[in-house]
Amino acid sequence: MNVALSVLDLVPNCTGSNPAEALRRTVDLARLAERLGYARYWFAEHHSLASVASSAPEILIGHIASATTSIRVGSGGMMLPNHIPYRMAEIFRTLEALHPGRIDLGIGRAPGTNGAATRALRAAGSEHFSAMMNELVRFGGDQPYGPGHPYAKVTAMPTGVPLPPVWILGSSGASAAAAGAAGFGYSFASHFSTEPPAPAFRAYREAFKPSANFPKPHAILGVQVVCAETDARADELAQSMDLTWLRINRNQYLPIPSPEEAAAYDWTEIDREEVRQQRRLSIVGSPATVRARIAALVEDTGADEVMIVTNLHGHAERLASYELLTAAFAEQRRAA
């Protein structure tokens, strides 16, 4: 399998650490990913989750782009309802000016948080997404609006810098055709969506019209992965992820627990069944197990790229998961 691999970083915050430390450690994974040949490094925007510290991707993008030299860095994504399109155009044109040819602008239509935080963010409703996207793209050009328009003399600085390549993020397929028709890239979040990605990718490709940034369609498949030396060890590490998800589903927002904390949790049969269902959205196992399952997903969807998200307790374990996965695919390519 010759598909590109990338990283989606939620900046996991774990027990025994703190969010500030989690933010500082993003550099370790980004530099490792660059050294291992990952194609891009994206941050997701989330709010009011104690287990996730990536609330400001635009800041982290600049930080990581400055700490690396070649890997593409971007958002996966910026939640457009939380932002003013004009301001976002300015931010990402500035990032593109500072790191030309290395920035991606992934856009999502959900607020990325719960109801209370959505209100605190003054987030716009999803029904405004299309209009906001149109405004963002217009301000991404040097002449966004014609004479007579209220914004005719409004310019998103810096001028002379293109908006980075735009990607639309989806989890249901609803925006896939629109992304294709606009000539954008498309990324499907199979790491939390119960919808199958293949129909969304098909709709995206069928509607695709070439653009300057995307002469041909490019579809990314987001996958939750826990990779360890053995299937048993990977399962043990993934229990931290299981308990985190279970707590969030019960409106309990806490840092990611250790595997030992998860093992000591008072699990009910209902809890375990919920976790079993949720685990179907993740790939957990040894390098051979993970490689085989990712290869099957790529064959089923025709994904051009696979973006890996790994939310583990333990910084070293998280780095090791990406290293083991890379080695597994490198070994397969050598064997081929």
Q: pTM value?
A: 0.95
The span from the CA of 126 to the CA of 247, in Å, is 26
**pLDDT above 70 (res 200):** yes
Confidence bin at 154 (pLDDT 50/70/90): very high
Average pLDDT value for the chain: 94
pLDDT value for 127: 85
**pLDDT above 60 (res 336):** no
pLDDT value for 334: 57
pLDDT value for 333: 59
76-100: average pLDDT: 96
Listed range (57-66, 169-178, 207-216, 285-294) with the worst mean pLDDT = 169-178
Q: Which pLDDT tens digit goes with each residue over 282-330? A: 999 999 999 999 999 999 999 999 999 999 999 999 999 999 999 988 8
Q: Which pLDDT tens digit goes with each residue over 257-287? A: 999 999 999 999 999 999 999 999 999 999 9
pLDDT value for 332: 61
Query: Which percentage of the chain shows pLDDT scores above 90?
Result: 86
Higher pLDDT, 292 or 174: 292
pLDDT value for 126: 80
